[in-house]
Amino acid sequence: MTPLHLFGLLPADLVAHMEAQGERCSLTEARQVLSRVISEGSADPTPKREPRKALVQALHRHTTWGRLEVLERVPDEEGKSVRYLFRSPDGALSEAVRIGLHKPGHYTVCLSSQVGCAMQCAFCATGRLGLTRNLAPWEIVSAFVTIRDEARDELGGRVSGAVFMGQGEPFHTYDAVIQTARVLSEPAGGRVAKENITISTVGLVPQIRRFTREKQPYKLIVSLTSTVASRRVELLPVAGRTDLAELVAAIREYSEVAQDRTTVAWVVIGGVNTGDDEVEGLRTLLGELKLRINLIDVNDNRPDGFRRASPAELATFLDRLQVLGVPVVRRYSVGQDQNSACGMLAATRSAAPT
């Protein structure tokens, strides 16, 4: 049997796994083991207090805890972020990003959930890769641990949050992402507050409803990008599977259960989705909801690709959005000059020899 990776486990999972191998492991011991390798980032899973030799031997036989290989670290031109390129044991490449927060010395980590993506969003470099496979929870946690440890050991900083907005559609691999979020928020795991973990989706309605039904404690962002049905299908082909009204209904259900502002992500594309028709669509479809709109600049390194909105166009769009009376947050996408903005790094390296 292939050893189980500790990074993807909760304490109860480790207890059950060891019992299945005929080995004894108490819940307290499981917490100590996972705290060592995940919380502390140690290369040794041996509990600090009174470790049992039999347990340590069993851990070496039935579990593993190695990390993903770091191929590259690419800082952005403004010094706000560092994008990491990881390689899994099978050679698959994935990305994660350390992002500086307003409070000095505090960071969040943007995590990928898949190698590539099946959603084929027209403006996304990752979407053009297609989907290779889902990332296992241990791979996602490994990326988090590496970035967190480097922020702590090299910068004296603290990673206090995580967002699933990297490569892939998180709700396309729902169970793995929720398991990862649980490990990240576990006291014996990543020790990230549940409210500081955010999961983004391009709008998979069944999963949004499941997330709502399960009353998951993590925050949700829905990537809308257009309220004009035909345009949204062109930009996000997955939108063709679900009527826009059904997506809005799922957002409304979530908002009622969460009792919080619903965050809508909007990839701003010059000359495409910054007009009055989009603002009117937001007002008509979601006007009665408490919203927060995150504006994200498009990243497209193709000569004939989508362009960013000009400063004047963006300013006009921001003025138009004021009629909604909701917070509008400008999210800066960094790293475009080095082809390391969202989805670009793995896309440009995927065909390179290693």
- In degrees and rounded to multiples of 5, residue 148 shows phi and psi of -60, -45
Q: What does R_g of the chain's alpha carbons equal in angstroms?
A: 21
* Dihedral sign from CA coordinates of 149, 154, 160, 165: negative
Of the candidates 110, 117, 121, 342, the residue annotated as catalytic is: 342
Q: Which residue has the tokens 């917490």?
A: 31
- In degrees and rounded to multiples of 5, residue 160 shows phi and psi of -115, 5
Nearest to 294, CA basis, from 325, 319, 322, 331: 331
Of the candidates 95, 139, 169, 278, the residue annotated as catalytic is: 95
Q: How far apart are CA 205 and CA 203, in angstroms?
A: 6
Q: Is 152 left (phi over 0), alpha (psi -120 to 50) or beta?
A: alpha
In terms of C-beta density within 10 A (0-12 exposed, 13-18 middle, 19 or more buried), how is residue 160 classed?
Answer: middle
Q: Rounded to 10 degrees, what is the CA torsion of 52, 55, 57, 61?
A: -170
Residue 82 and residue 75 in contact, taking contact as beta carbons nearer than 8 Å? yes
Per the annotation, the verdict on 95 as an active-site residue is: yes
Per the annotation, the verdict on 342 as an active-site residue is: yes
Q: Which residue has the tokens 């090299």?
A: 154
List, as own/partner pairs, every contact residues 276-280 make where C-beta atoms lie below 8 angstroms and the sequence separation is at least 24, other chains included.
Answer: 276/320, 277/227, 277/228, 278/226, 278/227, 278/228, 279/317, 279/320, 279/321, 279/323, 279/324, 280/227
| Strands, E assignment, 22-150 | 63-64, 69-75, 81-87, 93-100, 106-111, 114-116, 131-134
Positions annotated as catalytic residues are 95, 342
